[in-house]
A and B are shown apart, each in its own frame.
Chain A
């Protein structure tokens, strides 16, 4: 195989990952590392580096659309980004000291968790007593539902902040957006409506990933020849996915993709324990 063929195959795989990630809302970044390590035999550090930059690309692409529609809450996002960026810096330093096998196993566990979270029923809690801290930070806001502004309050800000630090650490350690953990912090802990939490999470992923990118770059994790097809592929795939999102029947697709992710998770854990990565 020459570089042109390799780039084309990797680009096509990344495109598919980005497309399915956008359609199912699970993000394409989460399957890039297993794809590179398990299917292409790439070292996990290069895989994490390529995945991280592709995550920034999709975040900017999707956030641009959502911010404009008024779903994302930039104050909540900005405040929680303090936690995610500090966590991401810690995670990036951890990545340089953690053995490959341990990274693979942690990655596998996060994949299993993401798969389990993806088919969970989500319900909104509106009209509730907000956290005094949320009032002080002016986080309570409204978002459009059928053309009308619906108000919401934000709860348990410190707990959400703490979970966000964890989400940032995972992002820096594994080169992923860790959207599933961000959603846990915002949906479950802070009880933000899911349309707002999903879009705000998307918006935060790019900044979180950018915080670990400097460390990754200086340690030589970001290989341009790998990152090029991965980033362009995932980006094109996620833009396409967002376009078809309205027509597609995503329910079955979500289940299929969740099963694929769970399978990759088991594979990562197995390869971590047997030392094959």
Chain B
């Protein structure tokens, strides 16, 4: 029993370390993409500041995952920034997905269900509304 408990804590430490790597990598990669898009944007659009005072809502294609990926590949600087922001949003989602897998490997099925529920809510928001 004590040994089983010890193993669980050791497993949890390993999960902690991997989660740490996922979060750091996601943060660094998205920051680089945002910075590249930002530089391109400033080089190409040096003129007057857009009007942010009245809310119109950002127009498509920058409001959906597929639209953003499509126009980022065509080199649109705003879409490249948006792509970086998407990677940023995807980082915690990847962390939750990893947790589901890690709890499964630990045979901790209660937490597979718990983290699975969280993943479902996230996917609902991103795929049903953001797709």
Chain A residues packing against B (C-beta within 8 Å): 1-4, 6-7, 40-46, 53, 56-57, 59-61, 63-65, 67-68, 70, 72, 74-75, 78-79, 81-82, 85-86, 89, 92, 137-138, 206-207, 209-215, 217-229, 231-232, 235
Contacts and interface: CB of A to CB of B under 8 A. Distances in A.
Interface of B: 12-13, 15-17, 19-21, 23-24, 26-27, 30-31, 34-35, 37-38, 41-42, 45-50, 52-59, 62-65, 78-79, 81-82, 85-86, 88-93, 95-96, 99, 108, 110-111, 114-115, 117-118, 121-122, 124-130
Query: Which of A44, A89, A209, A220 has the largest count of B CB atoms less than 10 A from its CB?
Result: A220
Contacts of B52: 40-43, 46, 223, 226
Given A218-B129, A224-B85, A211 B99 contact: no
Contacts of A225: 41, 50, 78, 81
B118 A220 contact: no
Query: Which of B12, B54, B121 has the largest count of A CB atoms less than 10 A from its CB?
Result: B121
B118 A74 contact: no
Query: Which of A60, A78, A89, A137 has the largest count of B CB atoms less than 10 A from its CB?
Result: A60
A200 to B, nearest CB: 12
A210 to B, nearest CB: 4
Contacts of B47: 2-3
Contact of B63 (A4, A64, A220): A220
Given A64-B24, A214-B122, 4 more contacts: A70-B13, A207-B96, A213-B89, A229-B38
B106 to A, nearest CB: 11
A224 B82 contact: yes
A78 B118 contact: yes
Which 4 interchain pairs have the tightest Cβ spacing?
Answer: A220-B57, A214-B125, A224-B81, A214-B130
Nearest to A208: B92
Nearest to B54: A43
Nearest to A149: B9
Query: Which of A89, A229, A231 has the largest count of B CB atoms less than 10 A from its CB?
Result: A231
Given A43-B54, A45-B55, A60-B91, A217 B27 contact: no
Contacts of A7: 38, 42
